[in-house]
Amino acid sequence: MTIRAEHAAQALERARSIIDQEIEAMSLLRDSFDDNLIKAVGLIQACVGRLIVTGVGKSGHIGAKLAATFASTGTPSFFLHAAEASHGDLGMITGQDVVLAISNSGMTKELFPVLDFCAANGAKVICMTSNDQSRLAQRSDICLRLPPVKEVCPNNLAPTSSVIITLAAGHVLAVLLMERRAFVDADFGKLHPGGRLGLLLSSVRRYTEEFKDVVPTVLPTELLGHVVIKMAEGQRGCVVVTEDGTNRLLGLITEGDLRRAFSPDMFSKTAQAIMTTRPVAVSVEDLMSSAVTLMKERRIAHIVVVDGESVVDVLHSKDLMQRGYM
Write out pLDDT tens, residues 133-145: 999 999 999 999 9
* Domain positions in the chain: 5-183, 197-322
Instruction: Give residue-wise pLDDT tens across range 272-314.
Output: 888 888 888 999 888 888 888 888 888 888 899 999 888 989 9
Q: 252 near 302, Cβ under 8 Å?
A: yes
pLDDT over 60 (residue 1): no
| Beta-carbon-side half-sphere exposure of residue 30 (alpha carbons within 13 Å) | 6
Task: Give the 3-state secondary structure of 112-169.
Answer: HHHHHHHHHHCCEEEEEECCCCCHHHHCCCEEEECCCCCCCCCCCCCCCHHHHHHHHH
CATH top-level class for 5-183? alpha beta
Does residue 57 carry a pLDDT above 90? yes
Report which of residues 85 and 199 the model is more confident about. 85
Would you state the pLDDT for residue 185? 58
Q: Identify the helix (H) or strand (E) that includes residue 35.
A: helix 35-46
Tell whether pTM > 0.85: no
**Cα–chain center distance at 237:** 33
Q: What local confidence, expressed as pLDDT, does residue 56 receive?
A: 95
User: Under CATH, which number does the domain 197-322 receive?
Assistant: 3.10.580.10
Per-residue pLDDT averaged across 237-241, rounded? Answer: 89
- For the segment 54-67, the average pLDDT, to the nearest whole number, is 95
Which residues contact residue 63 at a Cβ distance below 8 angstroms, ignoring those fewer than 6 apart?
53, 54, 55, 79, 100, 102
- Convert the pLDDT of each residue in 219-236 to its tens digit: 989 998 888 898 888 888
Q: Which residue has the higher pLDDT, 265 or 95?
A: 95
First to last CA, the chain: 41
Calpha distance 300→306 (Å, rounded): 17
Beta-carbon count within 10 A of 318 CB: 12
CB contact at 8 A, 49 and 122: no
